[in-house]
Structure 1
Amino acid sequence: MMCPVCGYDNLPGEEMCASCLQPLTQLDEPQPRDPLSEALMRTEVRELRPQKPITVLPTTSVRDAIRRMVEFSIGAVLVVNESGQLVGIFSERDVLMRVVGLHEQFENLPVSLFMTPNPEGVKDDHSVLFAVHKMDAGDYRHLPVVRDCKPLGVISARDILRFITNHL
């Protein structure tokens, strides 16, 4: 890592220049290369205006959970316990991959049998880039926005696409 002050070629990861003792830690931070990258890095998740979470209890029937998704035109409901803490997410993908065709009489079974337990989430002050990374790494289309284990909202792949489109 080249020192911007004296030009000394330091070893990668050094915190201070071995020659002039200037701090080098700020050089390790990723720098945006274009306006979209900058927007992704600098914008907080709250600025996406996450949808208000539609929640169900673990004991809610699959039928009722699907009805709520249809009623609110959403792709996922958040599953919360009696205290309102996030314990799972039940999505369109769960319906298609875990329920339909695999279980007879599934409509009366509790959503807890088919939900994705302990889902990844982001805080509302995390960067949009952090959220995109989580969605990509986990292959998620919906990501809960949480504070103190309680859901504040949900962001979706559609929200990310809208953000990108607005910043092109």
Structure 2
Amino acid sequence: MTEQARPIPQDRVERALMEQTVGSLSPRLPLTMPPHATIADAVDFMLQKDIGAVLVVDTGGALIGILSERDVLQRGTDQLGHTIGEVMTRRPETIRESDSLA
């Protein structure tokens, strides 16, 4: 975002959020799965890790999608044998470590 496009903070909280970057949050390593894993495997993994979504990456480690609880619930239990790649949300929006929190 260019400096001209950046909104003007209205108070101390907004200013602090605009100055703090995503990278300053000390994020954990992303939890990932390959697109050929089954939905059942993904559900087990998400339950084990206590997370609501898993990032889907190709063999080179590039992000290709995300599978969320909602994706699974919308498909129903008869889809548990299908692959993550069949049901994932493709091309999820991403952010950079240098992006501000606001």
Q: Equivalent of 2:52, from 75, 87, 112?
A: 75
Deviation at 1:108, TM superposition (A): 1.4
5+ unaligned residues in a row in structure 1: which ranges?
1-25, 130-168
Write out per-residue CA displacement over residues 33-76 of structure 1, whole angstroms, 9 at most, x where no aligned residue.
Answer: 11110122111001222232111101000001111111111111
Deviation at 1:96, TM superposition (A): 1.6
Distance 2:61 2:4 in 1: 42
Distance 2:16 2:70 in 1: 29
After the TM superposition, which of the residue ranges 73-82 and 32-41 deviates more from structure 2? 32-41
3-state DSSP of counterpart to 2:35: coil
Matched, 1:124 2:100: no
Which position in structure 2 is the counterpart of 1:52? 29
Matched, 1:88 2:65: yes
* TM-score normalized with structure 1 length: 0.55
Q: Equivalent of 1:100, from 52, 55, 76?
A: 76
Higher RCO (C-alpha under 8 Å, 6+ residues apart): 2
Write out per-residue CA displacement over residues 122-163 of structure 1, whole angstroms, 9 at most, x where no aligned residue.
Answer: 01111111xxxxxxxxxxxxxxxxxxxxxxxxxxxxxxxxxx
Distance 1:31 1:123 in 2: 21
Deviation at 1:100, TM superposition (A): 1.4
Query: Radius of gyration: which is bigger?
Result: 1
* TM-score normalized with structure 2 length: 0.88
Q: RMSD in angstroms over aligned alpha carbons?
A: 1.7
Moved over 4 A (4+): 26-29
Aligned-residue sequence identity (percent) comes to 37
3-state DSSP of counterpart to 2:80: helix
1:135-154 to 2 correspondence within 5 Å?
none
Distance 1:122 1:32 in 2: 20
Deviation at 1:27, TM superposition (A): 7.2
Distance 1:28 1:42 in 2: 15
Q: How many residues align?
A: 100
